[in-house]
Amino acid sequence: MKAKIIWVLLVVYGSVFTQKALPIDQTRVHDPVMIKQGNTYYVFCTGRGISVFSSTDLKTWTEEKQVFETAPTWVNEGNVPGFKNHIWAPDISFHNGQYYLYYSCSAFAKNTSAIGVATNKTLDPKSSDFKWTDHGIVVQSVPNRDLWNAIDPNLSIDENGNPWLVFGSFWDGMKMVKLNKELTAVEKPEQWITVARRQRSFELPDADPGDAAIEAPFLYKKGDYYYLFVSWDFCCRGEKSTYKVVVGRSKTMAGPFFDKDGKDLFQGGGSLVIEGNKNWAGVGHNSAYTIDGKDYFVFHAYDSNDKGIPKLKIKEIKWENGWPTVEPMN
């Protein structure tokens, strides 16, 4: 059984460096985030050492060299026992004249986890300035100490110019913590906020998170509102995955965030943005951006017609009465 689970994880998350251009419907990714430098789009995603893809048209993608050839040194110093350089759910953004890449190192289904950050002056691997510099742990969760999980990071800057890291998976919900000006550590004194959670039904056994399954928070500023996207239910099960994306909004980054019906995301609220169908399962773990005047919704979906392989999806966001909408899966 353990061998089968490991094989499934390799299929879902694994990535082999090929430098081969593929159409988007053949581009295998999990937990994608995107950014544009010059004329090139870059997608970073879960994979060995963090997988990277590049494109000039959003239609054809070429796999680039992974960020880390070996696991960051801090990971195996007792922080995440048994970690094998399979890095999850990165986040990419540009601040202070350089690119910040946050990433997750974890033990599957446990909150033995930590979020690290690396920086680079450029994303162009052909540039003489191209070099990833790792800055170590930003946030760490420890079993039997923390009721939250330090994975799925997303950096955002609030209305006053303060940097915050929103993150989390299952447990007691999505957390937000203020960072220092260097964006490499938690600011002192520490400021923590819970921005979204789902109440777990009491009748469920302890080992079953059930209807409390929530993760992959992503904050996106548009107009007067901050929009908080989260993924509900389960990923990582191929065509049996049940991921879907919901959203709430607030006029301040710290929330509270409310859905279309006025329900607080802290109380389990969330308005549906997109979900799977018979062809695509586990639609979720999204990111959102405005690039060159267009609003993009970037996510993965498991192809039910291709062995449940997770593939890159990019849709344009449309707006209805101040709420984000995307075309349903076809």
Contacts 24+ apart (CB under 8 A), 260-264: 260/323
Task: Please confirm whether the linkage preceding 189 is cis (ω < 30° from 0).
Answer: yes
Query: Which phi and psi (to 5°) does residue 146 adopt?
Result: -115, 140
**CB neighbours of 215 closer than 8 A, spacing ≥ 6?**
149, 151, 152, 168, 169, 170, 174, 230, 231, 235, 285
Establish whether 69 is a catalytic residue: no
Largest CA distance in the chain: 58
Q: How far is CA 241 from the centre of its chain?
A: 16
Annotated active-site residue in 63, 64, 152, 215: 215
**Which residues, other chains included, contact 257 with Cβ-Cβ below 8 Å and sequence gap of 6+?**
195, 196, 226, 228, 248, 249, 250, 264, 265, 266, 269
Active site residue 275: no
Q: Of 31, 63, 259, 303, which is the active-site residue?
A: 31
Give the Cα separation of 68 and 136 in Å (integer). 13
Give the catalytic positions in this structure.
31, 215
